[in-house]
Amino acid sequence: MKRTIVFYILTLFTATFSFAQSFEGILSYSVDIELSAKMKEKGMTKETVMVIMDEDGGFPETINYKYKGGNYVLEVPKSGSKSIYIGAKNTLYSFSKDKPQLITATDTSVNLEHLMYGINPSVTTEETDVIINGKTCKKIVISWSNGTYEYYYSDNYLSMDPALYKDFNYNMWNAYLKISKALPLRIVKKGGDESITLIMNLETASYAKLDDAIFNLPAMRIDEELSAIMPSNQKTYRKL
């Protein structure tokens, strides 16, 4: 159960129709969780899960995203983990503090639902009365066979050009941006009946000019042996 919970949380992290005011800067989200009814029936509590997470590197209380053009960096300060998305490669490179020599590269052109089942997740939009940071939000719901992602956004706030991420099929990020043309103020990721719901709320949005150096990747070589046991959309690299 402990490994399952940790893997589920980490997996969830695992992320400007061309106009000048596309957001560049840093978004900081607070993180919370809710347990499913079935997990509660088994005696699990939110506090128990958070203790387990703390034993395995820390519950990710805050997640920071740094956006510039078609690239972004995702950082989890408490665990020291980081991911770098390079738009030109359409690839997400993930780094872990406990395995500093290894890098996981995810091909974000791949839609896993379509790859495995031959179908695309459904995408629906809803009007809401939800207000986040003083902004009235709309909601986009992306439904997979094993869960949903709910994105809350506000028109013309934190604008982002969907063309920059048009090939980002992983987690249907491109489908979300095509409709919203804006970065989310809240993200709710729900799994199945025995899973955890992850809730990310935007706390601060800081407009800033970012140094391109934050997107630099280390020299690396592919690890064929480890890559062979990874999902088909992922490869493992080693730092040189």
pLDDT in tens, 98-148: 899 999 999 999 987 777 777 788 999 999 999 999 999 999 999 988 889
pLDDT recorded at residue 78: 84
pLDDT recorded at residue 18: 38
Mean pLDDT rounded to a whole number for the chain: 87
Taking the complete model, does pTM exceed 0.75, yes or no?
yes
Contact yes or no for 74/13 (Cβ under 8 A): yes
CA-CA distance, 115 to 238, in Å (whole number)?
27
CA-CA distance, 54 to 75, in Å (whole number)?
17
- pLDDT of residue 3 exceeding 80, the answer is no
Beta-carbon contacts of 80 under 8 Å, excluding residues fewer than 6 positions away, are 57, 97
- pLDDT of residue 2 exceeding 50, the answer is no
Q: Which residue carries 């935007």 as its tokens?
A: 202
User: Pick the residue with more confidence: 3 or 113?
Assistant: 113
Long-range contact pairs involving 45-54 (C-beta distance under 8 Å, separation at least 24): 49/5, 49/196, 52/2, 52/5, 52/6, 53/5, 53/6, 53/9
Q: Can you tell me the mean pLDDT for 158-187?
A: 96
pLDDT recorded at residue 57: 62
CA-CA distance, 12 to 172, in Å (whole number)?
13
The pLDDT confidence band at residue 48, using thresholds 50, 70 and 90, is: confident
Contact yes or no for 200/177 (Cβ under 8 A): no
The pLDDT confidence band at residue 4, using thresholds 50, 70 and 90, is: very low
- pLDDT of residue 7 exceeding 80, the answer is no
pLDDT in tens, 190-214: 887 778 899 999 999 999 999 999 9
Into how many domains does the chain fold? 1
Q: What is the CATH number of the domain that holds 179?
A: 2.50.20.10
Residue 28: which domain range? 2-239
Compute the CA torsion angle 112, 115, 117, 122 (nearest 10 deg). Answer: 50
Q: What is the DSSP letter of 118?
A: S
Q: Which two tokens stand for residue 92?
A: 């997400």
pLDDT recorded at residue 52: 78
- pLDDT of residue 17 exceeding 50, the answer is no
- pLDDT of residue 71 exceeding 90, the answer is yes
